A and B are shown apart, each in its own frame.
Chain A
Amino acid sequence: MSTGIAYETALQEWRQTAPADPRPLDLPVSELLSNFHPDRKPGARSKLVIGPNAGEECPNTLSRLLQSDSLLEDVDIAGAPTSEADVLVIGGGGAGCIAALTAARAGARVLLATKLGLGDSNTVMAEGGIQAAVGADDSVQQHFEDTIRAGHFAAKKELVAALVTGGPSAIRWLIQEGMDFDLADGTQRMGGTLRYKTAGGASVPRLLSFRDFTGLELMRAVREATLLQPNLTLLTHHPALELLTDDRGHCAGAVLYDFAHGQEVVVRSAVTVLATGGSGRLHLSDFPTSNHYGATADGLVLAYRLGARLRDVGSFQYHPTGVAWPPPLEGQLVSEAARSSGAFLVNGLGQRFVNELQPRDVVASAILREIDEGRGITRDGKVGVFLDTPSLERDNPGILARELVTLGNLARRGGFDPAEEPFLIRPTLHYQNGGVEIRTTGHTSVPGLLAAGEVTGGLHGHNRMMGNALLELVVFGRSAGANAAADARRERPRNVGLTHLADWRRAMESEGLPLDRKAPQLFPYYGNFDPVRDRRRGA
């Protein structure tokens, strides 16, 4: 793994060639992806044998989780405290908060349950921006086509159409909730124009931003709105362990786990909205991740066990530029803004090896190829390639301090000066392209269960464009919330229990799957938390 060129040697090579000449990829893209993209690595995937997607391939780690048994038995919920809600929202990131707000404002009694604190999520970490076609030279059609193309034509068109046409009103909604946006240079807050940046794979600049911490600005406004919303009850540090069903097989709420007391809490609801986000903390194929600590695919596990169809579940996004060294920062994101501003990627021989502005999957695979073929750079047992920030600064004096503030902070914490020394970077597990299949209304294939945000699949095909994830959580968070509130008026939970588990266990047994494998996992493996053991504490 860590064979390559020693850091000191590579640094000398880099000094001699910097700024290195452009060198296009010398391999057809399709060959590059099929040989080096982690999704395609032989041995890393296996076929699902039970559940709605049986027969489809997905990464081994995820397939183990999807095909495991519940943490719960009927007795666990028999005496548990119970609450009721019209709409239960699971997950307190951007999608969950927006769905909960929308449902509560539509008159539903809402309960929002989340695993960590409110807003402690991938949303708050987003840096680059949110895409919406507002420019005079842009159109929702162009946004549509760019998204379809970036996703390698595998996205569900109806979802993408809803995403892009909902873009401008999503931005208005965010402003109405008190989110600020960057303005174009020299324009004013009233009647000016927004600032557009370019996302990799976009035909025109349409990435709207707030500095290089767009997700923080979004989450601050939306979290505050959620905290202040009447009709909305919050249960933080209450992860969902299992969904509930009624006698018709509809989703009827969830069993939560109250960490503080080590006990289950039952929430019966007419409608449930799943907004649990992604799965970077599963560290598929041992990749580092940019994701927050709670991104462990819980929502996929719960929905799948209840019979919800997933799609593109084997497709993940590896962000090209995660930190490879120093170890304490491993996996953290060096924003795409560095490459879009013109920073080069350089291997251990001082050579460039790909056009840095290609879509993320291409650039990431090209980096992995350099590493695999021994042209990577090794330092203290870590391996990566250089992101040439010093040459960027030399050609654009002041750019690091002015436009790449978060990048500068990251380098400072790593103990080096990005104007003098290049970053050592390596692809990091970043985004779950697929997920629970939904319609434009947010409905999944299970009645009573809606979903929004990164937990869903279909919008991004096999590769997500930068800026579409933040847009997705606003557009689909809102429509899921509105539809959940509407459905809740017609629904009452009845005979609620864990009836789906009997069939599930039978299916597991008939395929010879071990029943002692339990999920959801809730935290990464190094979090020293075993839900099975911890639950005995409360008993």
Chain B
Amino acid sequence: MTMVRLVIDGHAINGESGTSLLQAWVAAGLPLVGNVGCMGQGVCGACRVLVRRPNERLAQTGLACETLVEEGMQVAFINISRQRRPHSYDLHALGDSWDAIARIDEIFPEATRCRHCGGCDAACPKGIEVEKMVNLAAVGQTLAAAELFDDCVQCNLCVAACPEHIDPAHLGQLVRRMTASMTLRPSDLIMRLHELEAGEQTIDLDSPGTLPQVSDDADVETADLETADVETADLETADLETAVVETAEIENADVENAQIENEEVQ
């Protein structure tokens, strides 16, 4: 096992080579209570860092769970709140898609002022063409813009990097969400929803398929003893059931299923 020396947030650390910055941090006995989420999958964007390698003049941004330790690295965690939200909107009130460009411009007026500095691209740990997305979104090419952001993990490093306060990460989410909610209309899903509303798709709680079968393939054999406690329906306090009735009007009825509720009370 080879060890390398590096500095993270002011702490001189010996890290095992092949481990990530986050792993080296905890292995050194330092407390980890923030700047972490998925811890290695690289999908939550919580572990933002600024990394400077020896002989490099400029520091680079990255994700600490995906960046491996190297001799002489200088590392600092970057805290960016996801809560600062200057660009707000209600997705359900955007109106129809004829106005998409106008809406994008209203919500993200700075997007047209991109100065093509490339700061966002340089900051992105996922290699996304952020600047290009911003420019496409600003001229209403929403689908093309949305696709560029497929791999975005919402780390907000591009937000911190943008001198024009364009908020690329959130502009990217707006175009993605707009595209999905305005253009995705799968016929199979819509058919099934109609069938459910018409009462043509119901559940038979005790159909033969819900019972263990002797002839069934091997995995079913295990159904055995553990099921004993299942039917001893563990429900007490019948008074709580009243809540069910009152909620019917709150949500479109689809969440609930009156038939099922009745079964449960018994």
Binding site for B on A (CB under 8 A): 25, 28-30, 33, 102, 106, 116-121, 124-125, 132-136, 139-142, 144-145, 148-149, 152-158, 161-162, 164-166, 168-169, 171-172, 175-181, 183, 189-194, 201, 211, 213, 215-216, 220-221, 223-225, 227-228, 234, 236-237, 259, 292-294, 309, 311, 326-329, 332-333, 358-359, 362, 409, 413, 437, 439-441, 443, 445, 447, 461-462, 475, 478-479, 482-483, 485-487, 522-523, 526-529, 534
Which residues in window 161-198 of B have CB below 8 A to A?
170, 173, 176-181, 183-189, 191-193, 196
A416 to chain B, nearest CB (A): 13
Which residues of A are found within 8 Å of B212, using beta-carbon distances?
153
| A486-B247 contact in complex given A358-B219, A445-B237, C-beta closer than 8 Å | yes
Residue B139 is within 8 A (CB to CB) of chain A in the complex: no
B51 to chain A, nearest CB (A): 16
> Residue A191 contacts which of B38, B46, B187 (CB distance < 8 angstroms)?
B187
CA A121 to CA B43, docked complex, whole Å: 10
A506 to chain B, nearest CB (A): 22
Q: Are the C-beta atoms of A176 and B181 separated by less than 8 Å?
A: yes
> Residue B221 contacts which of A29, A102, A179 (CB distance < 8 angstroms)?
A29
CA A194 to CA B263, docked complex, whole Å: 33
> Residue A157 contacts which of B85, B205, B220, B251 (CB distance < 8 angstroms)?
B205
Q: Are the C-beta atoms of B192 and A133 separated by less than 8 Å?
A: yes
Q: Are the C-beta atoms of A119 and B203 separated by less than 8 Å?
A: no
Which residues in window 242-265 of B have CB below 8 A to A?
243-244, 246-247, 250-252, 254-257, 260-261, 263-264
Q: Which of B54-62, B112-120, B130-138, B148-156 contacts A (4 or more CB under 8 A)?
A: B148-156
Residue B30 is within 8 A (CB to CB) of chain A in the complex: yes
Q: Are the C-beta atoms of B188 and A527 separated by less than 8 Å?
A: no
Which residues of B are found within 8 Å of A223, using beta-carbon distances?
82, 154
A75 to chain B, nearest CB (A): 24
B132 to chain A, nearest CB (A): 19
CA A523 to CA B34, docked complex, whole Å: 10
Which residues of B are found within 8 Å of A192, using beta-carbon distances?
186-187
| A168-B193 contact in complex given A134-B188, A183-B186, A527-B33, C-beta closer than 8 Å | yes
Which residues of A are found within 8 Å of B187, using beta-carbon distances?
191-193
Residue B19 is within 8 A (CB to CB) of chain A in the complex: yes
For the complex of A and B, 5 pairs with smallest distance between CB atoms:
A178-B177, A120-B37, A145-B209, A169-B254, A180-B180
A77 to chain B, nearest CB (A): 21
Q: Are the C-beta atoms of A485 and B31 separated by less than 8 Å?
A: no
List 11 contacting pairs A-B, 8 Å CB cutoff, sorted by A: A117-B44, A120-B36, A134-B189, A148-B209, A158-B263, A166-B257, A180-B180, A228-B91, A236-B82, A293-B39, A528-B32
Q: Are the C-beta atoms of B255 and A29 separated by less than 8 Å?
A: no
| A124-B38 contact in complex given A30-B224, A149-B209, A440-B256, C-beta closer than 8 Å | yes
A58 to chain B, nearest CB (A): 14
**From A164, A441, A527, residue with most partner B Cβ within 10 Å:** A441
Residue B96 is within 8 A (CB to CB) of chain A in the complex: no
> Residue B23 contacts which of A177, A221, A237, A328 (CB distance < 8 angstroms)?
A328
Residue B2 is within 8 A (CB to CB) of chain A in the complex: no
| A117-B18 contact in complex given A153-B223, A194-B189, C-beta closer than 8 Å | no
Closest to A405 in B: B151
Q: Are the C-beta atoms of B250 and A485 separated by less than 8 Å?
A: yes
Q: Mark B79-109, 1 if CB is under 8 A from A, else 0.
A: 0001101001111100000000000000000
Q: A120-B38, A332-B41 are in contact. List 14 more A-B contacts (CB 8 A).
A: A116-B46, A125-B41, A168-B192, A176-B92, A183-B186, A194-B189, A213-B43, A225-B177, A236-B83, A237-B33, A362-B219, A439-B244, A440-B264, A441-B247
Q: Are the C-beta atoms of A462 and B226 separated by less than 8 Å?
A: yes
Q: Are the C-beta atoms of B255 and A225 separated by less than 8 Å?
A: no
Which residues of A are found within 8 Å of B243, using beta-carbon distances?
441, 443, 483, 486-487
Residue B26 is within 8 A (CB to CB) of chain A in the complex: yes
Q: Are the C-beta atoms of A140 and B44 separated by less than 8 Å?
A: no
Q: Are the C-beta atoms of B240 and A106 separated by less than 8 Å?
A: no
CA A358 to CA B203, docked complex, whole Å: 26
Which residues of B are found within 8 Å of A486, using beta-carbon distances?
243, 246-247, 250
Which residues of A are found within 8 Å of B23, using beta-carbon distances?
328
Residue B235 is within 8 A (CB to CB) of chain A in the complex: yes
Q: Are the C-beta atoms of B226 and A152 separated by less than 8 Å?
A: yes
Q: Mark B192-226, 1 if CB is under 8 A from A, else 0.
A: 11001000011111010111100000111111101
Which residues of A are found within 8 Å of B186, using beta-carbon distances?
134, 181, 183, 191-194
Q: Are the C-beta atoms of B176 and A180 separated by less than 8 Å?
A: yes
- Kindly state the interface size class of chain B when it binds its partner: 35 or more
CA A328 to CA B67, docked complex, whole Å: 11
B34 to chain A, nearest CB (A): 6
Q: Are the C-beta atoms of A165 and B196 separated by less than 8 Å?
A: yes
Residue B40 is within 8 A (CB to CB) of chain A in the complex: yes
Q: Are the C-beta atoms of B154 and A134 separated by less than 8 Å?
A: no
> Residue B222 contacts which of A29, A157, A327, A437 (CB distance < 8 angstroms)?
A29
CA A17 to CA B151, docked complex, whole Å: 38
Q: Are the C-beta atoms of A140 and B226 separated by less than 8 Å?
A: no
Q: Are the C-beta atoms of A441 and B152 separated by less than 8 Å?
A: no
Which residues of B are found within 8 Å of A124, using beta-carbon distances?
37-38, 43-44
Which residues of B are found within 8 Å of A216, using beta-carbon distances?
43, 153
CA A443 to CA B223, docked complex, whole Å: 28
> Residue A162 contacts which of B29, B223, B260 (CB distance < 8 angstroms)?
B260
A326 to chain B, nearest CB (A): 6
Residue B129 is within 8 A (CB to CB) of chain A in the complex: no
Which residues of A are found within 8 Å of B41, using beta-carbon distances?
125, 332-333
CA A189 to CA B181, docked complex, whole Å: 11
CA A181 to CA B196, docked complex, whole Å: 21
Closest to A155 in B: B230
Q: Are the C-beta atoms of B210 and A228 separated by less than 8 Å?
A: no
Q: Are the C-beta atoms of B221 and A30 separated by less than 8 Å?
A: yes
**From A179, A189, A237, residue with most partner B Cβ within 10 Å:** A189
Q: Are the C-beta atoms of B89 and A228 separated by less than 8 Å?
A: yes
CA A482 to CA B247, docked complex, whole Å: 7
Q: Are the C-beta atoms of B234 and A437 separated by less than 8 Å?
A: yes
Q: Are the C-beta atoms of A28 and B221 separated by less than 8 Å?
A: yes
Q: Are the C-beta atoms of A443 and B219 separated by less than 8 Å?
A: no
Q: Are the C-beta atoms of A161 and B257 separated by less than 8 Å?
A: yes
Q: Are the C-beta atoms of B201 and A139 separated by less than 8 Å?
A: yes
Q: Are the C-beta atoms of B255 and A189 separated by less than 8 Å?
A: no
Q: Are the C-beta atoms of A177 and B181 separated by less than 8 Å?
A: yes
Which residues of B are found within 8 Å of A487, using beta-carbon distances?
243
Which residues of B are found within 8 Å of A327, using beta-carbon distances?
18-19
Which residues of A are found within 8 Å of B210, using beta-carbon distances?
144-145, 148-149, 153, 157
CA A332 to CA B66, docked complex, whole Å: 13
Q: Are the C-beta atoms of A168 and B189 separated by less than 8 Å?
A: yes
CA A224 to CA B171, docked complex, whole Å: 11
Q: Are the C-beta atoms of A178 and B43 separated by less than 8 Å?
A: no
Closest to A445 in B: B236
Q: Are the C-beta atoms of A102 and B219 separated by less than 8 Å?
A: no
CA A304 to CA B72, docked complex, whole Å: 48
CA A172 to CA B224, docked complex, whole Å: 38
Closest to A216 in B: B43
| A482-B205 contact in complex given A125-B43, A180-B179, C-beta closer than 8 Å | no
